[in-house]
C-alpha cells in the first residue's frame, strides 16, 4: 500500500484529458478551420471559438462552421459572442441534434437578462421538440410570463407541464412562486416533493428551511438543518451556518422572490447537472460492459452551467461546476480564476478552495496552494476540510510536524462522538505520525479511524497494512485488509497491502500474485513498484527486481523511499547474496 497524503485531497480523482496548448493560427479559411479543430481537440475552447469565428467570417454561408463558433463561445462562457451566432443558427436545419434549440435558448437568455421578456417569449414560442432541453425551455417560458404578468401567470403555466419528465424539474420553482403569491402550504408541499426527488438539490433544502423559519417554525427549521447537516459537502456547510445563525438569535434574511433571470439560471444549472450525471452513468455502463467509451465530452453540461452563470453571476453552484469542468479539461488557470470568485460566505467556499489548491498543485505551485488554504482556514474557522487539505499539502512537503499540529487542533474540536467522516482526520494525522516514527500514537489514530468507520476501506487498509508491515497482529491485519479488498476490489493500493502482508509472512508466491495485480492497476505508484521489486528479489528474479526498483526511482518517490530503493539497487535485500 502506498501511504500517500495526496489521497486525502478532495477532488483527487481529476481526469486530465489534454492541456490547453496555444494553437497555431493561419489567415485563411482552411487554416482557421484546421486551427479550430486542433483547439477543440485539446479542449482550448476560447482558441477554438476564435478560430471558427474567423473561418465563419471567411465562409459566411456555411452554417456548420458558425455552429462550431457558437458552441465553443458558449462553452468558454462568452455568451454575448455566442448569441451573435445563435441568431443565425436558430432557424438552421443542418445543426447537430439540439443545436438550433440551444441557439434559441441562448437568445432567450440574453433577452431575459436584459429584461426584454416579450422578445424572450417570442423566441421561446419557436422552440422545437428537443427532449433533453425541454425543461430549461419550459421554465424560461414560465419565468418570462412572471416577468410580464406576475407570479400568478407563471404558476398557471407551471401547473401544466408538457410531460412528467419536465414536472420533476418544476418542483422548486412551484415552491418559489407559491411563496410569492402567499400560498405557503403549497410551497411547503412543493419543496418537500423536490427534496424527495432527483432535482431538488441545495436550493430546495435552503428554500424549505427558510420557509419554515419565515412561517414561525424555527425549531422545525433547526431540526431540518441538523438532519441535512449529516451530508458532506456544501449542504453540510450551509446547514451548520444556518444552525449557528438560529442559535445566535438572528433571523433568516434569505429572499424567496427570484427574478426571471435568477430563476432561469437555476433551471439551466439543474438541467446541466442532470445531463452530466446521466452522461457519467452511461460512460460507466459502457466501460463496465468491456467497451471503450473514448474521451469524455461534457461540453453541453458546461455550456448550460455557463448560461446559468451568465444569468446569475452569484449562483456559486454553477460557478463551481464551471471551474470543475475546466479542471476536467485541463484548463487549470481558468479553473483557478473561477474558483477565486466564490466568496467565504458561500456554501461552496470550502470545496472551491480545496479544488483550487488542487489545481495549483497540479501546476506545481505548491507554495501558492498552501498559502491559499492557510488564508481560507484563517477566514473561516469552521472549514475543517480546508484544514485537512492543508495538512495533506504540508505532509507532501515533508512538513509532518506542522501537519500534526494542525490536525491536533481540528481533532480537538470533533468531540467524543464525531461525524462518520471524521476517520479522515485520524488517518491523516496517523500517516504523518508514522513518518515521524511515532508508532504508538499513529497506531492509536489508525485504530480510532477504524472504530469510527468500520466499513471504510481506506481506514481498514491503513491499519491492516501498518500492522502487517511491522509483523504485528498478522491474523487481524489479514482480516482488515481482506475486508478492505472485498469493499473496494479495484484498488491497487489495497491489493498491494494484501500482497505485502503475504510477503511479510514469507509466502512470496502468493504475494507475487497480488503485487503484480496491484502494479497493473497502479503502474505509476512508486511504493507498489518497489514492493514488486522486493518480491521478485526474494523469488531469485533479480534482474526483474532491479528493473522495478529503477522504475520506482523514476516515479518520484518520497525522499525516504528513494534512499531505501537506492540502497537495494546497490546491495540487494538483507539476508540474500547478490
CA distance 232 to 412: 20
CA distance 115 to 90: 20
Q: 265: closest CA among 83, 135, 77, 109?
A: 109
Q: What is the CATH number of domain 17-129?
A: 1.25.40.10
Tell me: pLDDT of 289 over 80. Answer: no
Tell me: pLDDT of 505 over 60. Answer: yes
| H helical segments located in 164-259 | 164-180, 184-196, 201-214, 218-228, 234-247
How far, in Å, are 139, 154, 167, 192, 196 from residue 160 at the CA level? 11, 10, 9, 19, 21
CA distance 356 to 413: 25
Q: Where are the domains of the chain?
A: 1-12+341-453, 17-129
**Distance between start and end Cα atoms, the chain:** 26
Grid look-up 423536490 returns: 194
CA distance 376 to 384: 10
Tell me: pLDDT of 21 over 60. Answer: no
Is the model more confident about 501 or about 27? 501
Q: 352: closest CA among 381, 327, 378?
A: 327
Q: What is the DSSP string of 107-133?
A: HHHHHHHTT-HHHHHHHHHT----GGG
Fold designation for 1-12+341-453: 1.25.40
Task: Tell me the average pLDDT of the chain.
Answer: 87
CA distance 398 to 558: 9
For 174, residues 6+ apart whose C-beta sits below 8 A from its C-beta are 155, 158, 159, 186, 187, 190
Fold match flag (1-12+341-453 vs 17-129): yes
Enter the pTM of the model. Answer: 0.81
Is the model more confident about 170 or about 559? 170
Tell me: pLDDT of 243 over 90. Answer: yes
For 519, residues 6+ apart whose C-beta sits below 8 A from its C-beta are 492, 496, 525, 528, 529, 532
Tell me: pLDDT of 201 over 50. Answer: yes
- Cβ-defined contacts of 473-479 (< 8 Å, 24+): 474/501, 474/504, 474/505, 477/501
Tell me: pLDDT of 444 over 90. Answer: yes
Tell me: pLDDT of 121 over 90. Answer: yes
Q: 459: closest CA among 446, 441, 476, 440?
A: 446
Tell me: pLDDT of 16 over 60. Answer: no
CA distance 106 to 89: 11
Tell me: pLDDT of 382 over 70. Answer: yes
CA distance 329 to 270: 21
Q: 13: closest CA among 304, 328, 233?
A: 328
**Angle, nearest 10°, between helix axes 164-180 and 184-196?**
140
Write phi, then psi, for 156 (nearest 5 degrees). Answer: -60, -40
Q: Give the three-class secondary structure for 178.
A: helix
C-alpha grid cell, residue 122: 417570442
Give mean pLDDT, residues 280-295: 72
Amino acid at each position: 500500500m502506498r501511504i500517500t497524503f495526496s489521497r486525502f485531497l478532495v477532488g483527487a480523482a481529476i481526469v486530465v484529458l489534454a492541456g490547453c496548448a496555444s494553437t497555431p493560427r493561419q489567415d485563411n479559411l482552411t487554416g482557421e478551420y484546421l486551427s479550430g479543430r486542433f483547439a477543440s481537440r485539446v479542449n482550448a475552447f476560447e482558441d477554438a471559438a476564435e478560430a471558427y469565428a474567423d473561418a465563419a467570417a471567411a465562409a459566411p454561408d456555411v452554417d456548420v462552421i458558425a455552429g462550431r463558433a457558437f458552441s465553443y463561445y458558449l462553452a468558454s462562457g462568452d455568451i454575448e459572442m455566442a448569441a451573435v451566432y445563435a441568431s443565425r443558427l436558430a432557424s438552421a436545419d443542418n445543426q447537430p441534434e439540439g443545436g438550433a434549440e440551444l441557439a434559441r435558448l441562448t437568445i432567450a437568455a440574453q433577452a431575459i437578462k436584459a429584461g426584454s421578456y416579450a422578445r424572450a417569449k417570442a423566441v421561446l414560442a419557436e422552440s422545437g421538440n428537443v427532449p433533453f432541453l425541454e425543461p430549461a425551455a419550459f421554465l424560461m417560458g414560465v419565468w418570462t410570463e412572471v416577468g410580464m404578468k406576475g407570479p400568478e401567470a407563471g404558476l398557471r403555466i407551471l401547473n401544466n407541464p408538457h410531460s412528467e419528465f419536465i414536472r420533476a424539474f418544476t418542483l422548486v420553482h412551484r415552491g418559489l412562486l407559491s411563496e410569492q403569491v402567499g400560498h405557503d402550504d403549497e410551497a411547503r408541499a412543493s419543496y418537500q416533493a423536490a427534496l424527495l426527488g432527483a432535482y431538488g438539490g441545495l436550493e430546495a433544502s435552503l428554500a424549505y428551511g427558510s420557509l419554515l423559519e419565515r412561517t414561525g417554525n424555527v425549531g422545525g427549521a433547526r431540526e431540518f438543518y441538523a438532519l441535512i447537516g449529516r451530508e458532506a459537502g456544501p449542504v453540510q456547510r450551509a446547514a451548520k451556518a444556518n444552525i449557528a445563525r438560529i442559535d445566535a438569535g438572528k433571523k433568516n434574511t434569505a429572499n424567496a422572490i427570484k427574478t426571471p433571470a435568477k430563476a432561469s439560471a437555476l433551471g439551466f444549472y439543474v438541467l446541466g447537472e442532470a445531463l452530466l450525471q446521466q452522461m457519467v452513468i452511461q460512460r460507466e455502463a459502457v466501460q463496465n460492459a468491456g467497451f471503450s467509451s473514448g474521451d469524455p465530452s461534457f461540453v453541453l453540461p458546461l455550456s448550460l452551467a455557463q448560461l446559468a452563470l451568465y444569468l446569475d453571476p452569484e449562483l456559486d453552484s454553477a460557478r463551481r461546476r464551471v471551474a470543475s469542468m475546466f479542471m476536467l479539461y485541463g484548463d487549470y488557470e481558468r479553473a483557478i480564476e473561477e474558483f477565486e470568485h466564490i466568496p467565504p460566505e458561500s456554501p461552496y467556499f470550502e470545496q472551491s478552495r480545496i479544488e483550487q489548491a488542487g489545481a495549483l498543485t497540479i501546476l506545481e505551485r505548491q507554495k501558492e496552494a498552501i498559502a491559499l488554504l492557510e488564508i481560507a482556514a484563517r477566514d473561516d474557522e469552521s472549514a475543517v476540510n480546508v484544514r485537512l487539505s492543508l495538512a495533506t499539502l504540508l505532509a507532501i512537503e515533508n512538513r509532518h510536524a506542522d501537519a500534526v499540529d494542525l490536525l491536533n487542533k481540528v481533532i480537538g474540536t470533533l468531540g467524543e462522538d464525531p461525524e462518520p467522516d471524521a476517520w479522515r482526520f485520524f488517518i491523516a494525522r496517523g500517516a504523518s505520525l508514522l513518518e515521524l516514527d511515532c508508532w504508538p500514537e499513529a497506531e492509536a489514530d489508525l485504530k480510532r479511524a477504524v472504530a469510527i468507520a468500520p466499513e471504510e476501506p481506506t481506514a481498514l487498509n491503513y491499519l491492516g497494512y501498518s500492522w502487517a508491515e511491522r509483523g504485528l497482529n498478522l491474523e487481524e491485519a489479514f482480516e482488515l485488509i481482506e475486508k478492505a479488498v472485498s469493499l473496494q476490489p479495484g484498488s491497487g493500493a489495497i491489493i498491494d497491502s494484501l500482497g505485502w502482508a503475504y510477503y511479510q509472512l514469507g509466502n512470496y508466491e502468493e504475494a507475487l500474485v497480488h503485487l503484480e495485480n496491484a502494479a497493473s492497476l497502479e503502474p505509476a505508484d512508486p511504493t507498489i513498484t518497489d514492493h514488486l521489486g522486493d518480491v521478485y528479489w526474494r523469488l531469485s528474479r533479480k534482474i526483474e527486481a532491479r528493473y522495478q526498483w529503477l522504475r520506482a526511482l523514476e516515479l518520484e518517490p518520497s525522499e525516504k523511499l528513494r534512499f531505501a530503493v537506492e540502497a537495494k539497487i546497490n546491495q540487494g535485500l538483507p539476508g540474500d547474496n547478490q
